Amino acid sequence: MPDIHPLTGFTVAVTADGRRDELAALLQQRGARVVATAALRVVPLADDTELRLATLACIARPLDAVVATTGIGLRGWLDAAENWGLADSLRSRLAASYLVVRGPTARTSGLMGAWSPASDSDDEVLDHLLDAGVAGKRIALQLHGERQTEFGAALRDAGADIVEVPVYQWAPPLDPAPLRRLVDLTASRLVDAVAFTSAPAVGSLLRAAGTDAEAVLHALRTDVVAACLGPLTAAPLRRRRVPVVEPPRARLDDLVRVLADELPRRSRTLCIAGTPVTLRGFAAVVDGILRPLAPAPMAVLRALAERPGRVLSRAALLGALPRGADEHAVEMAVARLRAGLGGTGYVQTVIKRGYRLRVD
C-alpha cells in the first residue's frame, strides 16, 4: 500500500515571484500537485526623476539601514547612480549602513549584506528590523514593484524615518493565459489552496480576474485555502474579509507545514459500503489507496458526501457539474465515479429518484 503524504491528493497553486521552484518542490515532497503561475513581471520605470531624488536624499545624510529587496532593483539603482555620477557616493553610504539583503540575487551586487532572511520575504525582514529596534533610525527601502504600504507604515509606526527608493514596477505577465487559468481554477474550486508570498501577487491575481474577482474572493472565503507567508502578504486579503492561514515564521518550509496541517484537517472521511473513504482535493482515499478522480465525478462525490445516505436527483447533481452539462453528463459522471472508486457498491441507484452513497 503506497504511503499517503500529508498533501497527497491536494492541488496547491503557487504565485511566488521569486523562489517559485523551491516552494513548488517543498510542496511536491509532501505529496501536493502544484500549479505554478508567475503572477508578475518586472518593467523599468518610465520616469527616473523620483529615483534620482531618492538617491540624492540617501547621499545627503547618513543611513542607519538599507533594505535591498531584490537583486535587479539594487543593480538598477547602482547603474542609475553611475549614469548620474553618484555611484561612488551612493556605494559609500550603503557600505556604511546596516545592509539587509532580502533576495539571493541582491547578493551579487558586490556589497556585503549584514543580514539576510531565510525566506527572502518582506514579513521576515520586517520582524528582524522591529526586533532590532528602528526608533529614530533612518532607513532606505528599495521598493520592489510598487509601494510597500504596510511595510513602510509598520516601520514608521515604530519611529523610523523612511526613504523609499523606486527602481522598477510590476506589470502583468506578457502571456496572460496562465494567470487567467489560475483565476478559473480558483473560482471553480479546482485548486485546494493558493500560496502567496507577496502582497503584489494578490493584487495581480485579482486584477487578472477582472469581473470574476468576486468569484475568486468567494472561493478563497469558503473552499480554497489562502496561505500567506506573513501579515504583510496577507493584508490585502484580510482587507477583503478573506480568512488566511500563515506560519509562525515567514519561511517557505513553515508555510508548507501550515498547508500540510490545514488541508488534511478539511478532508472528510465516510464509511461507504463498509469501507473508509476520505475525500482529498482531486482524489479519494479508499481503504488507504489513493484513487484520483476527474473533476466531474469528484464533484458528484462531494455533492453526495454533503448529504450522506440521502438520495440526490439527477437535477440536484447537475448543479454540481460545470455549466452546460446535462443529465446525461450526470450519468456519465456517476459511471466514472464508480469506476474510479473501484466498484459499483459505493454509489447506489435509486430507481426514478437518483443516487445515494451507501453509507454505514
More confident residue, 339 or 352: 339
Q: Structurally, what CATH architecture does the domain formed by 11-40+173-266 represent?
A: 3-Layer(aba) Sandwich (3.40)
Q: Is 252 helix (H, G, I), strand (E, B) or coil?
A: helix
**Alpha helix locations (H) across 30-85?**
49-60, 71-83
Q: Of 3.40.50.720, 3.40.50.920, 3.40.1390.10, 1.10.10.10, which CATH number belongs to 268-357?
A: 1.10.10.10
Grid cell at residue 66:
538599507
In 3D space, the residue among 202, 266, 265 whose CA is nearest the CA of residue 229 turns out to be 202
Instruction: Decide yes or no: CATH 3.40.50.10090 for domain 42-170.
Output: yes
The DSSP call for residue 209 is H
Q: What is the pLDDT of residue 104?
A: 56
**Alpha helix locations (H) across 111-163?**
122-132, 149-157
* CATH 3.40.50.10090 domain range(s) in the chain: 11-40+173-266, 42-170
* CATH 1.10.10.10 domain range(s) in the chain: 268-357
Using an 8 Å Cβ cutoff, are 282 and 334 in contact? no
Q: Is 289 helix (H, G, I), strand (E, B) or coil?
A: strand
The amino acid at 250: A
Mean pLDDT over 281-285 rounds to 95
- For the ranges 111-125, 142-156, 235-249, the maximum mean pLDDT occurs at 235-249
Residues in the chain: 360
Choice among 68-82, 99-113, 274-288 with the minimum mean pLDDT:
99-113
Q: What is the pLDDT of residue 109?
A: 54
Mean pLDDT over 196-221 rounds to 94
Distance CA(205)–CA(210), nearest Å, equals 9
Predicted confidence (pLDDT) per residue in 211-261, tens digit: 999 999 999 999 999 999 888 889 999 999 999 999 998 889 999 999 999
Distance CA(124)–CA(252), nearest Å, equals 11
Distance CA(318)–CA(338), nearest Å, equals 17
DSSP-derived secondary structure for 334-357 = HHHHHHHHTSSSSEEEETTTEEEE
End-to-end Cα separation, the chain, in angstroms = 24
Question: Model confidence at 359, in pLDDT bands (50, 70, 90)?
Answer: confident
Question: Model confidence at 115, in pLDDT bands (50, 70, 90)?
Answer: confident
Centre a 10 Å sphere on the Cβ of residue 231 and count the other Cβ atoms it contains.
18
Grid cell at residue 123:
514579513
Q: What is the pLDDT of residue 60?
A: 97
- Mean pLDDT across the chain: 90
Predicted confidence (pLDDT) per residue in 11-24, tens digit: 999 997 667 889 99
What pTM, to 2 d.p., does this model score? 0.80
Grid cell at residue 13:
497553486
Mean pLDDT over 43-67 rounds to 92
Using an 8 Å Cβ cutoff, are 171 and 43 in contact? yes
Q: What is each CA distance from 144 to 129, 200, 285, 292, in whole angstroms?
A: 18, 9, 43, 40
Question: Model confidence at 112, in pLDDT bands (50, 70, 90)?
Answer: low
Q: What percent of the chain has pLDDT over 70?
A: 93
Q: What are phi and psi of 12, to 5 degrees?
A: -120, 130
